[in-house]
Structure 1
Amino acid sequence: FQCNLCNKTYSTFSGLAKHKQLHCDAQSRKSFSCKYCDKEYVSLGALKMHIRTHTLPCVCKICGKAFSRPWLLQGHIRTHTGEKPFSCPHCNRAFADRSNLRAHLQTHSDVKKYQCKNCSKTFSRMSLLHKHEESGC
């Protein structure tokens, strides 16, 4: 069995298959370099996604701020409109982006894994513990 890429021969088909995998691995290590910085990527798609962080193609029509992704722009526009589409199912709070809602939901959780070293009070979020500690506890 002969490799059509380098003409090396093998006594078994499985030996040839393993050898060809080495050719595939070598090809997959080819990299695509960013022209704006020194980062390299193994796929062209990954490079194109990265380049958007330099070119910032999504621009806010209201203030001109630019973003790499459409959903980041969409979230930013809510700062202008005041829209808060993410509502807490436990209370009347609403948020402009999903990540802030997720952080808020921890306040309703019984799991309070952040503990004050001074008074042993526990908190659901690290930021709440820091605020507590800064207040002088």
Structure 2
Amino acid sequence: MEVCAALGVPLERTVKTLAFVTPDDRLVPAALPGHARLRYGALARAAGIRRTDLAPAGGDRLARAGMRPGGVCPVSGDHDELVVFDETVGGPGRVHCGGGRPDSSIEIDVTRLMAAVPAAATAQIADIPATGPV
């Protein structure tokens, strides 16, 4: 949140990417709005695997995809990965997302970001917090 404040970027205009691996070492990045929480079961269903088959991707696995922990990007050099975008990420406008390293980010039009991953899946994998008074 401090980074968003320093850059003047609303958290809702960020895409965070959490990376997982399957037992057969396939990378499964989950891209969702920065203010959302991941629904692990929904991600597993979208990837066609069991929830128990998702494990956090370690630094070595991320390095093979050209990324480092803290800077995961939905676009990588790993051609076997299955990126799953939350269905709410596709809204219009520019977003900020990880650039592969923890000290950099990318500002990009969200449609271009999603187009850079043509084999990606889209599913309801995020819980979006309610805004405003309840």
What TM-score comes out, normalization by structure 2 length? 0.18
Write 1 or 2 for the structure with the bigger share of helix: 1
Higher-Rg member (1/2): 1
Write 1 or 2 for the structure with the bigger share of strand: 2
